[in-house]
Chains A and B, each alone.
Chain A
Amino acid sequence: MGEFKIMDGNDAAAHGVMLSRPDVVAIFPITPNTTLINGVAELTASGKMKAKNVTVENEHAALSVVAGAAAAGARTFTASASQGVVHMEEVLWMIPGSRLPLVMAICNRSISNPGSLMCTHSDSLLQRDNGWLQLYCEDAQEVIDTTIQSYRIAEDKRVLLPIHFCLDGYVTSACAIPVNVPDQDKVDEFLPPYPHEHFYLDPTNTIRPEPGLPNYRGLETEQRYIIDEALIGAKEVIKEVNDEWGEMFGRKYGNGLIEEYRTEDAKGVLVTMGSMTGTARVVVDQMRDEGKPIGLVKLRTFRPFPTEEFKRIGAKVDAMGFVDRNFSHGAASGGGIGVVETSRALYHLDERPPLLGFIAGIGGRDVTYENFRYMAEKVLKAAETGKVEKEVEWIQLMEG
């Protein structure tokens, strides 16, 4: 079943896109996703992929091209990172309102200045409020699987919203591992052609929507509410798609929203996103061997945020720590975005666990075993004492 190939995350995404049979792809390079779009161009040039590729002039245009194409009934793809995502900002907000099920990859990278070419999750998390779904991948295998799943989720009639699937720049995008590439005929079975029956541009279609125009009728409240309902409802779809993928391809990612690791009898849990999860898992195993009751939650779906899952886990553990690979300057308690979201999710629990925020891995700095052990010990100490020494701690911060 499937074929194993050595692939990095960008290669995996390009092959996932190929297997999803998009009609139109907008191509523009930016480090660290450049090899992803090179891959798409090569797969098309070799005839393996049939998409119409458009070599655009910038990221703003890339998203405009795929939006226009999706409005005319095409399945599409584009990718970006960092400054490119920020340059797209204006168009990003327009897509959910048009209910266009675009799929876009973000190779997470810092935003300047100061910035780097390496991974920080700020570029994608900046988009958390505009109605896109966001899935975070741990490794190249999850990337290829999530790419294909993304089309199924976005195009589901209950969702019809765009998706960002995110992979950590370099650590995932350029790190090669053996990847099981699904068979095309099985992918075709899993992902039928894009139906584009709700809204598309066709002279024979008598509906004349102009969703891009400003809303003069004062119904933005209701429109935003409907988008919110669809986004929240997408949780069930993500779970279903994850289950179905598991049945067809033999791999699952937790319940689709989160992946729990040794949380059953844990007193404290750490929450991670993306590639650092692998390191954290090893540390959890080591500490469990030492009899320390630590567990791990990988947050796979950041939007819609899995509130119910966090409540369930929050109610049974004595402390929780969120490892944010991002920052939110000036946020409540100085938190990263993840810990602020988690605070809200846990707020109405009868007995809230102490919640610790850690900011780690900014600008691609490695989050080491020692770092995870340090954070896990802090969480376990809070579990024991019921107290939080420091609400947010910047890990590996150089002093002086």
Chain B
Amino acid sequence: MTCVRGASALEDLLKALPGKPVAALVIWETVGPAPSVALPPLRTRVLARVRDPRAAQLWDPRQLVSSALREAAATQAGWPARGLHTDSSGTIWDTVLVFPPGSRWTDAPPKPVYAGSLVEDVMDEVRKNLH
């Protein structure tokens, strides 16, 4: 439930910054070991928590983003890895990252300027790091 509240907190942040050029990406994922079976699609009421047109929402039941971020944090210098919240299987969740303008995700994710968790608790920090 804290994650769903995190989505609402992100929506509130975007609402508080009308007109600001910022792109938000919400990665919905499962927590725990990646499931081997197909999962049902996300419920509309969960998706409806983020309505700002600057936000895109993707469904990542295979935890591909978590794995990519975990590997980048482990192999690239200077990652704010302490802000990554992981479960016992290593899945990064209830975590928010801020990337500066000009960042591009090529083979690996770029380095964020900020990473924090739990999402609903760190929106002030996210806001401070949006330049």
Question: Is the A/B pair a real complex?
Answer: no
